[in-house]
Chains A and B, each alone.
Chain A
Amino acid sequence: MIRNYFKIAWRNIRSNKLFTALNIAGLAIGLCVCMILFSFVNTELGFDKMYSNSEDIYRVNMETSEEYNFETWATMPNAVGPAIAQDIPQVKLMTRLIKDDFGATASLKIGDKNFTENRLYLADSAIFKMFDFKFLEGNSNDAFSKPKSIVLSQSAKIRLFGNQDAMGQLIIVNNINTLQVSGIYADLPKNSVMDIDMVYNIMDTWMGTNVYWSNASYETYLQLEPNSNVSNLQNQATGLIDKYVDKDNQYFTKFIFQPLTEIHLHSAHVREAYSSKMGSITAIKSLLFLSLLVLLIACINYMNLATANAQKRAKGIGINKVLGANRRQMLSLFYVETGIMVFLSIAIGYAVSFLTLPLFKSITGNELSYQDLLDTPILIGLLIIWILVTLVAGSYPAISMSNISPLILVNKSKKKGSASELIRKGLVVFQFAASIVLIIAVTIILQQMAFIKNRNLGYDPNGIVAVSVKSAETEQQVESLIKGLERLVNVESVSAVQSMPGANESGRSVYKMATDGTGLPIASCRTDGNIVNTLKLKVIAGNELPETIPEGDSIIYSLINEKILNYLDYKTPEDAIGKIIHTELGSMAIITGVVENFNFNSLKESVGGYMYYKSRKAPEGIRTLLVRYNTQDLSKFMSQLQQTFNEALPNTAFDYQFLDRHVAQLYASEEKTASTATLFSVLAIFIACLGLFGLAAFTAEQRTKEIGVRKVLGATVTGITRLLSKDFLKLVLVAFVIAAPVAYLIMRNWLLDFAYRTEISWWVFAFAGIAALCIALITVSFQAIKAAMANPVKSLRTE
């Protein structure tokens, strides 16, 4: 019996080539997308599950006080870890983790070669056991037994030393810290938040030994005894705050143990973490939703085309029923047919997913390897998808067609076309509504991206390169570099700063009164050059910072932005000039000038308080030179720049970043959203059009005779084309009416994430509606024109 089903199903599939091709194409595209996305989701969900004690490892996060808006931070004082490890016996292992120099790019010197390094960490030795480090050379027990040791990942070792032996070699970090290689470990798993390239012993530095409860810069990881009562231990840890910290200095109020396996996807609210491998559960969810939507649209194609085909098939079903087939057997026949079709589509979609993987990577920016597509859960997933899609796509055609009565053979009654017609129309409307929502969404996303890019930030990030000088050996080196740079023709201005905007400023607070407990958290940045010129800031009161400060002058000259000014309740900007500003910088800080607000952070946040200061006795160092240039030939300029740099700082790696790219980087995830949404909407529309194309073909075929008669009676080609296209276009219009408000609500919500956002204008909707209409029109009229042009005599004769 089942063999017979296969035979009949297979012949049906083959006998109707257009139907089969459209269905397989639609389903294969949908499935290809799903497959790629599922493997992406699969790797994302698998993050950090591979360690032998994954279940028992937690990161300590802390909840801050009102002063810091109750934010949750992943970094905390270096005293937290040791205190928890000491006072809570259920803590088996503890390690602190901090990036060298608080996350700034490190300059490594090996022999006479310089390298830059972004993933150099300091940690306690427990990290090796906790995260299953596999040592290829050296071992986890001895790695940190000698002072000033450093261990490298295998790929870092190859990058720094090539094929040469690395053990025992010296690495000079930032020209101040000489470390000796004491071990090489196999690269940590790709899907782990631990992105440690190389690590040295935190206990070799003041960071490990000099514990205090103030500066929060350290991540802290704990491995608990198996089956510990986590919330209980969490409360115990929180209890330590009162034990060790004065009430007045408690700027954090609670410790939260976040399971290791949740860090990657569930840390959107956690700030200040070091790992570069941060995912987002909302991104995963929306990707999953989008791919299911595309798949659903493909399934609908199948349902629509299959039921449109029903009239052709009805006779066969009637006969089979008269010959003794029951409903169940007819159901099976249709499911077998759908099953074969879906199987073919999966096979094709799966094969294509391997080919399109690089494309997917480049469009969405998501890392994925061929290996990920072969993972067991994916293969099991394929099976589940096969069954699921067969059931979903096959359901409606199977049920509606297996109900066809054998009476269809003897008279023309019981043609209850209206219900299935209505459902078919409903499904087309759904497809197009979904497509239109996607078009509108994509347009608004792109509009918002353009809005952000073109928005006046309050400073001009274009044409500035930030050169790191934090690893200079002496101040003279930096000075001679500045002099060298100022001699270059294409350099307009150079400012020495602690940080480029929004990177490594110091967090301070501004107080209204010196005695206030809480103030306004601000970013403060030391500068030495003419920052107003370099960044093109706008001074609204007072002066720029003085060019030079005479010997013996201990005043801290500061430039504040309007945000700080407003907080300080001065009536006019001018009132503030010359006044003392109360910060942790002491009582010598005075306000020299006020600048217009500028967006040093992402436009998702509203402007915060910002203060540039200049002083002979600055607590922070100069780490970056902001170079404003003006050139047509950037690559030539950059090589000049590098040459100048190497002359002034011969032992330091040339590390630079373009400021505009840094700013663009702030919106990387939105860019990703934009390109992903574009991809999905194109696919959704394409698949919906495949379906529409098929439906139009069927309608034209069904009405061949009518068209023939009409033509004989004198109808024109245009008239007939209009006749055939009209109904479909009505559906698109209905879809638009449904889609527009839905899209509006979704996108208004999305825009709320941005402090600065574009207006949703009516033309976006007009554009989406017209686009959908045009696409549908082209698809449908192709068939309509073909039908209208056909020779009427022929079509009438065949009937």
Chain B
Amino acid sequence: MLLELNNIFKWVNQGGKRIFLLSDINLKIDEGEFISIMGPSGSGKSTLLNVIGMLDGFQEGEYNFMGESVHTMKEKNRSKLYKEYIGFVFQAYHLIDELTVYENIETPLLYKDINSSERKALVADMLDRFNIVGKKDLFPSQLSGGQQQLVGVARALITKPKLILADEPTGNLNSKQSEEIMQLFKELNQEGVTIIQATHSETNAAYGSRVLHLLDGRRDFN
């Protein structure tokens, strides 16, 4: 088992009232799964992904990731953990505008203190695999949306994460580009990478092995 959420509650206080963003979420995910989270807008998909990705906290409940209990962990160790095992892909790509394609892909390796020759080799492999060697010196603004997301995925993969979290990865792409990315996710999943994506699209959700429905911050089993 890769991770496990038990009775997770997350809320914010607004005007003296508690507004629940997540309530009583229970979830077990095994290594190698490809999970799609679906639900109407505002149902808490992104919130849940952020909790799983350890970017955001929660008020109640337990979260175990690879046998370690995240909810008791210090901030520092938590970021160590996600840095090691989790890659993120965003709807808005979120590439660093000031860096080239090559440098964007390389950045996570820098934060893991990997030496330069190894970095070169890893980045070269990745460029090769995604067929973007010719674009390596371009800046994000010089790429199409699909290409940018390709770089985003490449960057998420460069550290060989066990888990990829993708929040509407194809939200800004046309259907052909979407299909490419989804195909890519499928391949990665087949290679053993666990993937959790939030999506509005039934088609995209169909790539996954399991679909998880949310409604108003709760799991919806209907």
Chain A positions near chain B (C-beta within 8 angstroms): 1, 4, 7-8, 11-12, 15, 315-316, 318-326, 329, 405-407, 409-411
- Contact B96 A319, beta carbon cutoff 8 Å: yes
| A71 CB → nearest B CB, Å | 67
Contacts of B97 in A (CB 8 A): 316
- A494 to B103 alpha-carbon distance, docked (Å): 88
Contacts of A316 in B (CB 8 A): 96-98
Contacting residue for B110 out of A4, A319, A322, A405, CB 8 A:
A4
Within 87-123 of B, Cβ neighbours of A (below 8 Å) are at 88, 90, 92, 94-99, 103, 107-108, 110-113
11 CB < 8 A contacts A-B: A4-B103, A316-B98, A323-B155, A324-B112, A326-B76, A326-B79, A405-B55, A407-B55, A407-B56, A410-B46, A410-B167
| A313 CB → nearest B CB, Å | 10
Contacting residue for B94 out of A12, A318, A325, A411, CB 8 A:
A318
- Contact A324 B111, beta carbon cutoff 8 Å: yes
Q: How many pairs, one residue from A and one from B, have CB atoms within 8 Å of each other in the complex? A: 60
- Contact A319 B95, beta carbon cutoff 8 Å: yes
| A332 CB → nearest B CB, Å | 12
Q: Check: B136 CB closer than 8 A to any chain A CB.
A: no
Contacts of B79 in A (CB 8 A): 321, 324, 326
Contacts of B23 in A (CB 8 A): none
Q: Check: B26 CB closer than 8 A to any chain A CB.
A: no
Contacts of A321 in B (CB 8 A): 79
- Contact A320 B107, beta carbon cutoff 8 Å: yes
- A411 to B83 alpha-carbon distance, docked (Å): 20
- Contact B50 A410, beta carbon cutoff 8 Å: yes
Contacts of A411 in B (CB 8 A): 46
Contacts of B83 in A (CB 8 A): 323-324
Contacts of A406 in B (CB 8 A): 55
Closest chain B residue to A11, Cβ basis: B98
- A410 to B48 alpha-carbon distance, docked (Å): 11
Chain B: interface residue count, which band? 20 to 34
- Contact A329 B111, beta carbon cutoff 8 Å: yes
Contacting residue for B88 out of A7, A15, A322, A326, CB 8 A:
A322
- A320 to B98 alpha-carbon distance, docked (Å): 12
Top 9 A-B pairs ranked by shortest CB distance? A324-B111, A324-B83, A11-B98, A323-B108, A319-B94, A406-B55, A322-B88, A325-B111, A323-B107
Given pairs A1-B113, A410-B50, 20 additional interface contacts (CB within 8 A)? A1-B110, A8-B99, A315-B94, A316-B96, A316-B97, A319-B95, A320-B96, A320-B107, A321-B79, A322-B94, A323-B107, A323-B108, A324-B82, A324-B108, A326-B79, A326-B111, A405-B55, A407-B55, A409-B94, A410-B55
- A409 to B91 alpha-carbon distance, docked (Å): 10
- Contact B112 A410, beta carbon cutoff 8 Å: no
Interface mask (B52-95 → A, CB under 8 Å = 1, otherwise 0) = 00011000000000000000000010010011000010101011
Q: Check: B159 CB closer than 8 A to any chain A CB.
A: yes
Contacts of A405 in B (CB 8 A): 55
| A597 CB → nearest B CB, Å | 74
| A323 CB → nearest B CB, Å | 4
Chain B positions near chain A (C-beta within 8 angstroms): 46, 49-50, 55-56, 76, 79, 82-83, 88, 90, 92, 94-99, 103, 107-108, 110-113, 155, 159, 167
- Contact B98 A15, beta carbon cutoff 8 Å: yes
- A320 to B103 alpha-carbon distance, docked (Å): 12
- A322 to B107 alpha-carbon distance, docked (Å): 11
Closest chain A residue to B106, Cβ basis: A4
Closest chain B residue to A316, Cβ basis: B96
- A407-B50 in contact given A11-B98, A324-B83, A324-B159 (Cβ < 8 Å): yes
- A409 to B94 alpha-carbon distance, docked (Å): 8
- A319 to B107 alpha-carbon distance, docked (Å): 10
Residue among A7, A11, A405 facing the most chain B CB atoms (10 A cut-off): A11
- A776 to B5 alpha-carbon distance, docked (Å): 57
| B18 CB → nearest A CB, Å | 16
- A763 to B56 alpha-carbon distance, docked (Å): 58
Contacts of B96 in A (CB 8 A): 8, 316, 319-320
Contacts of B82 in A (CB 8 A): 324
- A324 to B107 alpha-carbon distance, docked (Å): 9
Residue among A8, A315, A406 facing the most chain B CB atoms (10 A cut-off): A406
| A10 CB → nearest B CB, Å | 9
Contacts of B167 in A (CB 8 A): 410
| A409 CB → nearest B CB, Å | 5
| A19 CB → nearest B CB, Å | 14
| B159 CB → nearest A CB, Å | 7
- A329 to B112 alpha-carbon distance, docked (Å): 12
- A320 to B56 alpha-carbon distance, docked (Å): 16
Contacts of B107 in A (CB 8 A): 4, 320, 323
Contacts of B108 in A (CB 8 A): 323-324
Closest chain A residue to B116, Cβ basis: A3
- A496 to B96 alpha-carbon distance, docked (Å): 86
| B169 CB → nearest A CB, Å | 13
Contacting residue for A323 out of B56, B76, B111, CB 8 A:
B111
Contacts of A315 in B (CB 8 A): 94
- A376 to B98 alpha-carbon distance, docked (Å): 39
- Contact A12 B111, beta carbon cutoff 8 Å: no
Contacts of B112 in A (CB 8 A): 324
- A406 to B88 alpha-carbon distance, docked (Å): 11
Contacts of B98 in A (CB 8 A): 8, 11-12, 15, 316
| B90 CB → nearest A CB, Å | 6
- Contact A409 B90, beta carbon cutoff 8 Å: yes
- A320 to B159 alpha-carbon distance, docked (Å): 14
Closest chain A residue to B155, Cβ basis: A323
- A318 to B99 alpha-carbon distance, docked (Å): 15
| A769 CB → nearest B CB, Å | 42
Closest chain A residue to B167, Cβ basis: A410
- A79 to B36 alpha-carbon distance, docked (Å): 105
Contacts of A322 in B (CB 8 A): 55, 88, 94
Contacts of A4 in B (CB 8 A): 103, 107, 110
Contacts of A410 in B (CB 8 A): 46, 49-50, 55, 90, 167
- A12 to B97 alpha-carbon distance, docked (Å): 10
Contacts of B55 in A (CB 8 A): 322, 405-407, 410
Contacts of A8 in B (CB 8 A): 96, 98-99
| A561 CB → nearest B CB, Å | 78
| A600 CB → nearest B CB, Å | 71
| B101 CB → nearest A CB, Å | 14
Contacts of A409 in B (CB 8 A): 90, 92, 94
Contacts of B46 in A (CB 8 A): 410-411
Contacts of B113 in A (CB 8 A): 1
| A166 CB → nearest B CB, Å | 71
Closest chain B residue to A15, Cβ basis: B98
- A324 to B56 alpha-carbon distance, docked (Å): 15
| A5 CB → nearest B CB, Å | 9
| A268 CB → nearest B CB, Å | 56
- A407 to B12 alpha-carbon distance, docked (Å): 15
- A405 to B94 alpha-carbon distance, docked (Å): 14
Residue among B90, B94, B95, B108 facing the most chain A CB atoms (10 A cut-off): B94
- A406 to B108 alpha-carbon distance, docked (Å): 14
Residue among A12, A315, A319 facing the most chain B CB atoms (10 A cut-off): A319
- A406 to B83 alpha-carbon distance, docked (Å): 13
